[in-house]
Amino acid sequence: MARSGMLLGALLAVPARAMADDCVVTGTSVTLENIRVQPADPDIGPLELDIRALPVRATIRSGALVDLEVGGAIAFKATASKVWWTLAAPAETADHMVSLSAGAHLVDAHADGDSVIADAVLHASDVMVGEAKDPDEKVGPVRVACTKLSLDWAQDDAADIETGGDDTNYRPRKHDNKLALRAAPNTKAAAITVIAPSCGAGCITVERVKSRAGWLLVATANEGVRAAGWIRRSELVRLPDSLLLNRSYMCTGGHGRSPVFGGSIATVGLVESQATLDVGTTIYAAEGDGAWATVIANGPYRVQFVRGASWAVVTAIPGVDGDISAYVPMSAVTLTKP
């Protein structure tokens, strides 16, 4: 396993070939759902995989897709369209409108110089580590330095940030799932938007911090994120002081999936066994076609094969689930136990 450890270290240590507006973020124990791997043969469709607790280097670019380099038992490249980024250190936007604790999350990030422009998560009712889901409530845009981001989810919840308000609460008078807050009491001042994409009336509430000539400075805070800004008093409706406000959390199911390993293999004379694979072996999406990964750790794996066959199907790869089609030559397989 010493050689494997060196290869894993190299995956995260070698400088990425990043362009000027690329942002490279790493994690040592990363869980992600619905990442896509395109085998070398373009006629073979992409594999849709989930990874669990693996080292990953991600390159955020100016577009929606994130490029991934994944390590672990095997090494491969993939893309993802929905990634949650964790604040490894506290951050605050230059205009002081958004503050973030370590452990807070960003979504929908794209690179801009040495930073990302993204939305900060204010509320995620039913999101497990690494799930490709949208938050219930978010605020943006926020600019955060790439060096403050990690792919590893924090072990503990992000520290709460107080709103700094006076317990006087409001909701939007219109556009109940969206609220624009400005950096100054001026309609031309820069703005951030609090949005609850899939929610109706009453989802967004803010607390008064201070008032000035028909404007209110308001704030909302949750999950290690505080957003504050100015808004006209006429755009808000005051809520009764007796109203108890909180964001609900519930599980609606649908988390994770069982691995589906592809590959067609005859059942007569079929053998299934735990095995090790030779380091450096290429993994294919079909027999000798569509290379998509390289073995960098001996195992353990599980394989299926027919006695006398030249190829085996890998049916279990540590840390990798999903729609997997993985073939290796029998010459690279060492059986360990049934």
User: What is the per-residue pLDDT for 241?
Assistant: 81
Phi/psi at 318 (5° precision): -55, 125
Alpha-carbon distance values, 248 to 123, 251, 328 (Å):
9, 10, 48
**What global pTM score does this model have?**
0.85
Answer whether residue 78 shows pLDDT above 80: yes
Intrachain domains 169-238 and 260-337 with the same fold:
yes
d(CA 222, CA 234): 25
β-sheet bridge partners, residue 59: 24, 67
Answer whether residue 284 shows pLDDT above 50: yes
Average pLDDT over residues 34-49: 96
- Are 110 and 63 in contact by the 8 Å Cβ rule? The answer is yes
User: What is the per-residue pLDDT for 64?
Assistant: 84
Domain map of the chain by residue range?
A: 2-83, 86-150, 169-238, 260-337
CATH number of 260-337: 2.30.30
- Size of the chain in residues: 338
- Are 223 and 121 in contact by the 8 Å Cβ rule? The answer is yes
d(CA 149, CA 84): 10
d(CA 321, CA 74): 13
Q: Which helix (H) or strand (E) holds 9?
A: helix 2-13
d(CA 171, CA 77): 45
* The CATH number of domain 169-238, selected from 2.40.30, 1.10.287, 2.30.30, 2.60.40: 2.30.30
Most confident of 6-15, 129-138, 192-201, 273-282: 273-282
